[in-house]
């Protein structure tokens, strides 16, 4: 644990992972991090979209990448005239939203930036307007994550060993950071998370950077770790939460929630807000990725050539297995998520 709980606890993947520059968007390649720290340069919105699809960036990274991609579309639009200007941005928005359909954060940030472009005056630079708006979106995202972390930390007890799955980005790291600021000693148990090993590479590295003692386990060890007392609390981020309390997250979340329920261990799902456009699961597309990805790890084939793969990238945890959905505004029963929208936000209270 850190000896200085008052310091700012921001790991590399959150402090500097997607950078919007004059010549494009530079994305830290999370497929090889932390063993290599290389950047993928995207000069166009199409290149940003492909980087998102090819898993150069994951979790909340696509939010920032998509925002940067919209800024690039604005710069391209400035080279057009009349109605063509907005048409360029609208086409870019459609392309970016299609990259990862399960997580609604890309959809939401792109929709907001598209609204900014539509509201701009004809003599304004769409590149400048969208760049400023994209940076503001990023700042707001991190601020909401800090609020979310503070809410989640209140549910973590001093001395807890917290199990987390996959890479929860600023949701999970802010929860640990807030617990540290509260003076709590917490440790982490991290699933490796096949096939990209985000837990072993991204979560373990990021929690280690902020001083959290972290143990990596394989994906098939979670239930036994709970059974033998190595886990006190189960916490994950969520890619989407429907209004009726279903939690959509990296595949493997559901089986761990089942094990946590059996062992009477609380499961907390972290998200900025439930999705008001998703009343239930019928409105959510569960992304299925290339089955070949399951047959490889870190570029090396791990299965027989006689085998075939199957890769649903997400699964769904029903509300009866969720102890609470933690948002930037509070902690809610999965059966009462409408209360999030009636609660005052920090901005409302200023």
* Burial class (CB within 10 angstroms; exposed 0-12, middle 13-18, buried 19+) of 199: buried
Q: What does the radius of gyration of the chain's CA atoms come to, in whole angstroms?
A: 20
Torsion angle (degrees, nearest 10) of CA 75, 76, 77, 80: 130
Calpha distance 239→227 (Å, rounded): 27
Annotated active-site residue in 108, 147, 160, 239: 239
| The predicted structure's pLDDT at residue 2 | 39
Check if 121 is active-site: no
What local confidence, expressed as pLDDT, does residue 82 receive?
84
Give the per-residue pLDDT at 238.
98
The strand ranges marked E within the chain are: 18-21, 24-28, 39-42, 161-164, 187-191, 213-217, 233-237, 240-241, 247-250, 267-270, 296-297, 300-301, 314-317, 324-327, 330-332
**What angle, rounded to 10 degrees, do the helices at 126-153 and 104-119 form?**
140
Q: Which residues contact 117 (CB under 8 A, 6 or more apart)?
A: 70, 74, 77, 86, 89, 126, 129, 130
All domains of the chain in start order, with CATH: 12-144 (1.20.120.420), 152-342 (3.40.50.10470)
**Secondary structure (DSSP) of 51-91:** HHHTTSS-TTHHHHHHHHHHHHHHHHHTTS-THHHHHHHHH
Strands 267-270 and 233-237: parallel
Reading the chain (350 residues) residue by residue, the pLDDT tens digits are: 334 443 457 899 998 899 999 999 999 999 999 999 999 999 999 999 999 999 999 999 999 999 999 999 999 999 998 889 999 999 999 999 999 999 999 999 999 999 999 999 999 999 999 999 999 999 999 999 999 999 999 999 999 999 999 999 999 999 999 999 999 999 999 999 999 999 999 999 999 999 999 999 999 999 999 999 999 999 999 999 999 999 999 999 999 999 999 999 999 999 999 999 999 999 999 999 999 999 999 889 999 999 999 999 999 999 999 999 999 999 999 999 999 999 876 555 43
Beta bridge partners of residue 189, listed in sequence order = 163, 215
Round to whole Å and give the CA distance between 329 and 168: 18
Residue 296's pLDDT is what? 95
- Which of 291, 334, 295 lies closest to 316, judged by CA? 334
Other C-beta atoms within 10 Å of 226: how many? 21
Quick one: pLDDT at residue 347? 52
- pLDDT computed for residue 346 by the predictor: 56
* CB neighbour list of residue 116: distance below 8 Å, 6 or more residues apart: 129, 130, 133
């Amino acid at each position: 644990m850190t000896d200085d709980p008052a310091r700012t606890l921001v790991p590399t993947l959150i402090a500097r992972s997607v950078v919007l520059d004059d010549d494009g968007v530079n994305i830290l390649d999370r497929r090889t991090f932390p063993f290599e720290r290389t950047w993928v340069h995207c000069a166009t919105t199409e290149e940003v979209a492909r980087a998102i699809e090819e898993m150069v960036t994951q979790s909340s990274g696509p939010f920032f990448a998509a925002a940067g991609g919209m800024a690039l579309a604005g710069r391209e639009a400035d080279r057009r005239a009349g109605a063509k200007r907005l048409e360029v941005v609208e086409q870019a928005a459609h392309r970016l939203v299609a990259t990862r359909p399960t997580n609604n954060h890309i959809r939401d940030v792109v929709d907001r930036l598209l609204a900014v472009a539509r509201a701009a005056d004809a003599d304004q630079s769409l590149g400048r307007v969208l760049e400023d708006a994209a940076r503001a979106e990023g700042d707001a995202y991190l601020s909401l994550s800090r609020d979310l972390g503070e809410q989640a930390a209140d549910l973590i007890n001093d001395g807890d060993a917290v199990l987390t799955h996959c890479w929860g980005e600023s949701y999970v790291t802010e929860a640990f950071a807030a617990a540290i600021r509260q003076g709590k000693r917490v440790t982490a148990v991290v699933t490796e998370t096949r096939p990209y090993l985000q837990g072993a590479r991204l979560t373990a590295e990021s929690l280690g950077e902020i001083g959290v003692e972290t143990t990596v386990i394989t994906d098939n060890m979670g239930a036994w770790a709970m059974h033998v007392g190595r886990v006190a609390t189960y916490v994950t981020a969520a890619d989407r939460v429907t209004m009726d309390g279903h939690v959509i997250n990296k595949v493997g979340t559901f089986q761990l929630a089942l094990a946590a329920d059996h062992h009477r261990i609380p499961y907390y799902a972290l998200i900025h807000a439930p999705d008001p456009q998703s009343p239930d699961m019928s409105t959510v597309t569960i992304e299925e990725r290339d089955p070949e990805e399951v047959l490889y790890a870190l570029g090396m084939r791990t299965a027989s050539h006689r085998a075939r793969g199957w890769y649903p990238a997400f699964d769904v945890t029903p509300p009866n297995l969720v102890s609470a959905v933690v948002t930037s505004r509070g902690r809610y029963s999965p059966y009462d998520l409408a209360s999030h929208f009636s609660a005052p936000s920090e901005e409302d209270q200023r």
